[in-house]
Chains A and B, each alone.
Chain A
Amino acid sequence: VSTLILAEHEGGAVKAQSISAVEAAKSLGDDNSISLLLAGSGPSLSKAAAHAAACHPSVSQVLVADSDKFAYPLAESWAKLVHLVQQKATYSHVIATSSSFGKNILPRAAALLDVSPITDVIEISNSHLFVRPIYAGNALCTVKYTGAGPCMLTIRSTSFPVSPLLSDSKFDEAPVSQVDISTFGEDSVGKSRFIKVTSQDTERPDLANARVVVTGGRGLKNAENFKMIEKLAEKLSAAVGATRAAVDAGFVPNDLQVGQTGKIVAPELYIAFGVSGAIQHLAGMKDSKVIVAVNKDADAPIFQVADYGLVGDLFEVIPELLDKLPEKK
Chain B
Amino acid sequence: MKIMVAIKRVVDYAVKIRVKPDKSGVETQNVKMSMNPFCEIALEEALRIKESGMASEVVAVSMGPAQCVDTLRTGLAMGADRGIHVEATGALFPLSVAKLLRALVEVEKPGLLILGKQAIDDDCNQTGQMIAGLLNWPQGTFASKVVLDKEKHEVMVDREIDGGLETLCLDLPAVITTDLRLNQPRYATLPNIMKAKSKVIKKFTPQDLNVEIKSDMEVVQVTEPPKRKAGVIVSSVDELVDKLKNEAHVI
Contact = CB atoms under 8 A, between A and B. Distances in A.
A119 B101 CA distance: 20
A317 B237 contact: yes
Given A111-B129, A116-B93, A305 B170 contact: no
Contact of B220 (A109, A129, A298, A304): A129
B225 A308 contact: no
B169 A192 contact: yes
Counting chain A CB atoms within 10 Å of each CB, the highest count among B95, B136, B156, B163 belongs to: B163
A194 B156 CA distance: 10
Interface residues of B, number: 83
Interface in A114-129: 114-120, 129
B241 A193 contact: no
A144 B218 contact: yes
Contacts of A269: 244, 248, 250-251
Contact of B161 (A106, A195, A197, A306): A197
B26 A303 contact: no
A191 B142 contact: no
A326 B240 CA distance: 12
A147 to B, nearest CB: 3
Contact of B129 (A75, A208, A257, A306): A75
B125 A119 contact: yes
Given A104-B142, A141-B122, A192-B138, 11 more contacts: A75-B132, A79-B133, A110-B130, A112-B133, A139-B224, A191-B137, A192-B168, A197-B165, A261-B180, A262-B180, A308-B233
A324 B234 CA distance: 15
Given A111-B130, A119-B126, A145-B217, A309 B234 contact: yes
B163 A118 contact: no
B194 interface: no
Interface of B: 11, 13-17, 19, 26, 37-38, 93-95, 98, 120-127, 129-134, 136-142, 144, 156, 159-171, 174, 180-181, 184, 215-225, 228, 230-238, 240-241, 243-245, 248, 250-251
Interface stretch (A28-36, A163-171, A219-227, A283-291): A283-291
B26 to A, nearest CB: 6
A176 interface: no
A122 B95 CA distance: 21
Main secondary structure of the interface of B (DSSP, over half): mixed
A308 B232 contact: yes
A149 interface: yes
Interface residues of A, number: 92
Contact of A260 (B93, B120, B125, B167): B120
B240 A142 contact: no
A135 B123 contact: yes
Contact of B170 (A191, A209, A212, A268): A191
Interface in A174-204: 187-188, 191-200
Nearest to B220: A142
Contact of B217 (A135, A144, A192, A309): A144
Contacts of B133: 79, 107-112
B14 A138 contact: no
B17 A138 contact: yes
A194 B170 CA distance: 9
B237 A324 contact: yes
A87 interface: no
A1 interface: no
